[in-house]
Structure 1
Amino acid sequence: MKNKILSIQSKVVYGYVGNNIAELAIQLHGLDVISFPTVFLSAHTGHRPIHGKAISKEFFEDLIQGIEEIDVLDSIFCAVTGYIGSEEILLSSSEFIQRIKKAYPEKLYICDPVMGDINTGLYVPESVAAKLMATLIPFCDILTPNFFELEYILQRKITTIDEIAESIKINSLLNKKIIIATGCRLEDTPKGQIETIVIDGDKIERIYSHNIDIDTVGTGDLFTAIFASQLAKGRDIVAATIIASETICSVLGYIVEKGMDEMNAECLLKYIRE
């Protein structure tokens, strides 16, 4: 039974980002997680000061070896990567994903290219962003960038849906991928709305959500975890995207209603459903 999701991303002692939020979201769908940390920090970067460090290449590859030796990878539905802050771990992750794809060609790989956002710009070194585009994106089946990351990968500003379609069509890195672009605001996006745009070859779906004016960390990590889980439960790409988008909107609305400043277990338990 393909009831597991492999997740490679950040881990924190306190808070809900990276694998902290992905693990719970996936488990609330009745699925199990094979979870690899890429960094281990005291809290997410919205808290200061922060302590901790990136996982070493040796330790990361030792964990990979341990999982490969107990023969559980056949039971995964997909692999997901999120925040990876070092070139070494990007390369190790890429090699691991490629081995999985070679042994099990049917396994999906979903890449969330965590590099930056509209408010902060690029928050990894340019060398890390370049390494991500060279080592992970070429091997993914589905890419889930936010709007900033999509523009960064395409190396252009985007204002219309036609510009997105044309830019992806002529981009050899992206034109054979399914792209789920979150947090999009185009010139014709209705006021007060935000878009998640699904690009699958010549097919484009625009999914609108209420734009909730709150800057909450971890929403991209949560979106990708819900999206991957919904695919594992049998939903198609568009249905999984709609459910993930609606859940994010509900969670953010609840945070505002309750006067909270970040996500917690309470709001996830309230809104995440199989």
Structure 2
Amino acid sequence: MNILSIQSHVTFGHVGNSAAVFPLQRAGHEVWPIHTVNFSNHTGYGDWGGPLTPASEVTAIVDGLERRGALEQVDAVLSGYQGGADIAGAIVETVRRVKEANPNALYACDPVMGNAKSGCFVSDEIPPLLRDKVVPVADIITPNQFELGFLTGQETTTLEQTLEAVRAAQEIGPRTVLVTSVLRPQTPEDSIEMLAVDGQRAYLVATPRLPFKRNGSGDVTAALFTGHYTATRDAQLALARTASSIFDLLQLTYEAEATELALIESQEYFASPRLQFEVQELG
């Protein structure tokens, strides 16, 4: 699979393309990254250096790929943290051009906005653009539970509410929705769930919940699910492989007390997921 990944880049640590490219490569995919920012580190540190990439430069890179005849070889476009508000239009136009060259290509959007603990951490211009302009052209979206609620304007406290919000998101455009960091009243304190809905079929997987969080884990999740789903068109298998790899990545990071994801140390788990968690199909 050839995946065109339009996301942020950091020199230090692992978020955006710096989190997505290597796991996808170890999973067996060719990845062509386009960086929406070129920062020293992720913004969670409160201080960083480096520029946003103007939309015109993103488009110029896509123009160059088109001259190489590469767009028709793209199997999936993946987008994540967008940086400037002007990037949304460049992404949508890139998706249009890729699908014109290869109608079988998929577009996976990770609508990065924030989380339940921190709230929104992107520019106020970004969430409406994602909801109104980007998500409607996506085949796959990978929001966390908080982001799903924002996109749809619905409560996501229970599993039933979350499924209703997924159906509302599907009405906007995407057929396939992966919801990460799912918590509900029935969830044990030591567990966390992921929900994947593909058309009418829904799948749920629970993994142990580790008592910490590291930036970039959502980026790896979106990347791996996109790669596995694009290769197999099987949401259940893609969810099982992704959940397995992400848990092992986080467990290694936690055990090492690392401040950034232990991406290199976890590479065998990307190449050969252990599939240690059962995926339940919801009736």
Tell me, yes or no, whether TM beats 0.5: yes
Structure 1 letter corresponding to 2:42: H
The answer to whether the Cα contact below 8 Å between 2:52 and 2:84 also exists between their aligned partners in 1 is: yes
- Matched residue, 2:153: 155
Instruction: Assess, with a 3 A threshold, how the Cα gap between structure 1 residues 171 and 72 changes in structure 2: closer, same or farther.
Output: closer
User: Counterpart of 2:218?
Assistant: 220
- Deviation, 1:117, is 1.1
Out of 250, 266, 269, the position equivalent to 1:268 is: 266
* Separation of aligned partners in 1, 2:18 and 2:170: 34
- Tell me, yes or no, if structure 1 residue 245 matches structure 2 residue 247: no
TM-score after normalising by structure 1? 0.93
Indicate if the aligned counterparts of 1:197 and 1:205 stay in contact, CA closer than 8 A: yes
Contact 1:175–1:201 (8 Å) recurs in 2: no
Q: Aligned equivalents of 1:171 and 1:143: distance in 2?
A: 9
2:278 corresponds in structure 1 to none
CA contact (8 A) 1:57 1:92 kept: yes
Greater shift after overlay, 35-44 or 158-167?
158-167
Alpha-carbon displacement from aligned partner over 1:96-118 (angstroms, at most 9, x marks no partner):
11121233221111111011112
- Equivalent residues of 2:111, 2:141 under 8 A apart: yes
Separation of aligned partners in 2, 1:170 and 1:57: 30
Aligned-residue sequence identity (percent) comes to: 28
TM-score, normalization by structure 2: 0.90
Q: In 2, Cα distance between the equivalents of 1:210 and 1:249?
A: 8
- Checking the alignment, whether the CA contact within 8 Å between 2:249 and 2:262 is kept in structure 1 is no
Gaps of 5+ in 2: 273-283
Deviations 1:32-59 (A, max 9, x none): 1111111110111132420112101222
- Over 3 Å counting, the alpha-carbon distance change for 1:183 and 1:83 in structure 2 is same
Go from structure 1 to structure 2 and tell me whether the alpha carbon gap of 1:46 and 1:267 turns closer, same or farther (over 3 Å shift). farther
Aligned residue for 2:260, secondary structure, equals: coil
Worse-superposed segment, 12-21 or 95-104: 95-104
Aligned to 1:69: 67
Any idea what SS the aligned residue of 1:259 has? coil
| SS of residue paired to 1:39 | strand
Residue 3 of structure 2 aligns with which residue? Answer: 5
Tell me the alpha carbon deviations over residues 117-165 of structure 1, each in whole angstroms, 9 at most, x when there is no partner: 1221111122211011122101111110011111111223322222122
Cα displacement string for residues 59-118 of structure 1 (whole angstroms, at most 9, x for unaligned residues):
222111111111112222211111102221111111111121233221111111011112
1:171 is displaced (CA, Å) by 5.2
Partner residue, 2:118: 120
Change (3 A) 1:129 1:246: same
Deviation at 1:232, TM superposition (A): 4.1
**Residues matched between the structures, number:** 272
Dislocated runs of 4+, deviation >4 Å: 170-173
Asked if structure 2 preserves the Cα contact closer than 8 Å seen for 1:159 and 1:186, the reply is yes
